[in-house]
Amino acid sequence: MSVRKVSLAYDGAVVAEVPETPVSEIPQILKRGESAARVMAQLSREERASILFRASQKMLEAKPDLARTIALESGKPIREARAEVDRAAATLWFSAEEAHRLAGEEVPMDAAAHGKGHVGYTMRQPLGMVAAITPFNFPLNLSMHKVGPAIAAGNSILHKPASATPLSAMHAASILYSAGLPNDALQVLVGSGAELGEALVAAEGIRLISFTGSAPVGRGLLAKAGMKRVTLELGNNSAVLVLEDADLDQAVAACVSGAYANSGQTCISVQRVYIAQNLHTQFLEKFVDLARQLKIANPLEEDCDISSLIHEQEAQRVQAWIGEAVREGATLVSGGGRNKATLQPTVLSNVQPGSKLNREEAFGPVVGVNSFQSLDEAIAMANDSRFGLQAGVFTQNLNAAWRCAREITAGGVMINDVSNYRVDQMPYGGWKESGLGKEGPRYAMEEMTALKLVSWRLS
């Protein structure tokens, strides 16, 4: 059996070795998953909710271990890793609550002339066996955003975490089993996306592929999934607008944290800041001042703010994009330096519209600050993207806020907050090339259940 090494990119230390799931084992995995799906479908709402409530509690009890695991496998600063455990436990809790609420509705059959004498209602039934494919950047919480709703809806689930970060997913599975999850209802598959992931996407018997990851992989997967349902949570190059009446200090502090949390490796990380022209210089000075105070360190150090990206190649890629943007006319205001996999928090201004740093998802600790002259121009700049996951707007002007909320083409608009504001029960999912379908337990459960109409003819 082959073994996968999990290592910390910050210093190259090997953190663990885990057995890989051979692709040849998939037929047996599917068989076990199908029989677990039959068991899951028999559980009552109360039984499914109880498992999830207990697991949520146990996850909080395991917080020190889980947070350390997240920090070591992904390079996430330890304080952020602890916050991720809290959020993952909340995601399971919200899923449990939604298990209680999962319900259909009465259909007014006799609103049609030939519906007279009929009663109709809908039921939401489990799909059966579903598959989750998840990324490295929130290895616990984004996994629970699929596992929690799948269990709450009465499905069995096959979970392939990112190959760089399988450990927290494995730990979460052991917690769910200790909370009473039936055998094989959650099988964690360790291995590469290119082999194991592709094999899962092609496998028979899986009813839904719930994918979170990059846009190119998501697009490829959609083409290969055949008649399976597919939900895609993909990337973004998030914009934040700071209008001339904004509370500047609030906006600066939120943008610094939004740009550099998890070293910028967040799908809704602040990447493009558009600021009213008269505030541009002042904003940049305050922003750079705060960004320079961030401490670069080993993720296990308590006061670490910024640590390594997931791989050194990723840090090289982002640094190359910074160099390219500067050659194309941008000004490097701060940062840009790199030590192996760790990149300094970087600020540029005047990033040209055609530069990769503006058009693509950077997924690193880098932000471009450009100015606008009118609200029309600001909204057009925010919308000049093939992505549309979330955006932020800072303003005290009600009319301007309302226009931004209506006119920005994204799945979420955060007024007086940054693009990466999220609570785990809200509907979350992108427009345009940022994805298909929604997460947030209640919304994910709509994707993970089949709607059945039952009609009764009354005699």
Please select the residue that binds ligand NAP; options are 82, 159, 160, 280, rule is CB under 6 A. 160
Binding of ligand NAP by 3 (CB under 6 A): no
8 Å CB contact between 430 and 411: yes
Q: Which of 73, 80, 255, 267 is catalytic?
A: 267
> Where would I find the H helices in 102-214?
141-152, 167-178, 198-202
Can you tell me the distance from the alpha carbon of 181 to that of 47, in angstroms, rounded to the nearest whole number? Answer: 9
233 is known as an active-site residue: yes
8 Å CB contact between 152 and 48: yes
**Amino acid identity, residue 134?**
T
Q: Which run of H or of E encompasses 228?
A: none
Nearest position to ligand NAP, beta carbon: 193
Q: Which is nearer to ligand NAP, 385 or 395 (CB)?
A: 385
Nearest CA among 425, 452, 448 for reference residue 150: 448
Please select the residue that binds ligand NAP; options are 389, 401, 413, 448, rule is CB under 6 A. 389
What part of residues 127-156 is at the interface with ligand NAP (CB under 6 A)? 133-137, 142
Nearest CA among 66, 65, 39 for reference residue 51: 39
Binding of ligand NAP by 361 (CB under 6 A): yes
267 is known as an active-site residue: yes
Q: Which of 233, 361, 439, 447 is catalytic?
A: 233
Can you tell me the distance from the alpha carbon of 264 to that of 377, in angstroms, rounded to the nearest whole number? Answer: 26
45-61 vs 167-178: helix crossing angle, rounded to 10: 130
Binding of ligand NAP by 233 (CB under 6 A): yes
Binding of ligand NAP by 267 (CB under 6 A): yes
168 φ/ψ sector (left φ>0, alpha ψ -120 to 50, else beta)? alpha
Shortest Cβ 319–ligand NAP spacing (Å)? 17
Q: Which stretch binds ligand NAP (CB under 6 A): 97-105, 120-128, 192-200, 330-338?
A: 192-200
Can you tell me the distance from the alpha carbon of 271 to that of 260, in angstroms, rounded to the nearest whole number? Answer: 10
Binding of ligand NAP by 221 (CB under 6 A): yes
Binding of ligand NAP by 162 (CB under 6 A): yes
Q: Which is nearer to ligand NAP, 189 or 276 (CB)?
A: 189
Shortest Cβ 91–ligand NAP spacing (Å)? 12
Shortest Cβ 195–ligand NAP spacing (Å)? 8
Tell me how many residues contact ligand NAP (CB under 6 A): 31
What order of strands is seen across the sheet that includes strand 449-457?
106-107, 118-126, 449-457
Binding of ligand NAP by 20 (CB under 6 A): no
Q: Which parts of this chain interact with ligand NAP (CB under 6 A)?
A: 133-137, 142, 160, 162-164, 192-194, 197-198, 201, 212-214, 217, 220-221, 233-235, 267, 361, 363, 389, 430, 435
